[in-house]
Amino acid sequence: LTDVLEFRRVLFRSLLEREAESLEIPVRAESVSTEDEVGPALRRVLDGSDILLALPDPLVYNRNTIFNIILSSYQNRIPVIGFSASYVKAGAMLAVHSTPSDIGMHIAETIRQFIITGETGLPASAFPKYFSIEAKIEERRVGKDVEQCGSRIIKKKKEIEKEKERR
């Protein structure tokens, strides 16, 4: 189990860094190997950050650490973007997550495409195609940087999609 979690940490971090680089968004990341290292690493990440993006890592984000993470972020006026609706309930400004309906729709489309094309092998694994967004309305005043960052991401994503269409 530990090896699987470490593999996920490395995978998520490398994917995030690659995408952020393509969108020209700086990333401040820290690695921890124990729960006791979370606090000091969080202080280093929050120093100079505009947003804290929580990734699904049970060593970092769990019921023992989440309160202090959200409180520290709030005290530093750094909005937290979580990966489940419960993060918004806990105090995060925003959460991007896939509901069972979102995942079911993606699976149904994958199966339909699989049947139509007559492929014999399983499709490659992929992140969910559909997702939901939960937002804490009263925290939006903190989110000007989030709005600007989101606009840059959307603009860059459209540019990339147009470039792919031209090929």
**Per-residue model confidence as pLDDT tens digits over 48-104:** 898 999 988 888 998 889 889 999 998 898 999 999 988 888 888 889 999 999 999
pLDDT digits (tens, 9 = 90+) for 108-165: 998 898 889 888 787 787 888 899 888 886 645 445 555 555 565 666 667 767 777 7
CA dist., res. 132 & res. 102, Å (int): 8
Determine the pLDDT at residue 145.
53
Tokens 């199966």 belong to 111
Determine the pLDDT at residue 163.
76
Determine the pLDDT at residue 42.
95
- The pairing of strands 52-53 and 94-97 is unpaired
Determine the pLDDT at residue 37.
94
Residue 163 near residue 99 (C-beta atoms within 8 A)? no
Assign 47 a pLDDT band (cuts: 50, 70, 90). Answer: very high
More confident residue, 102 or 8: 102
Determine the pLDDT at residue 122.
78
Determine the pLDDT at residue 146.
55
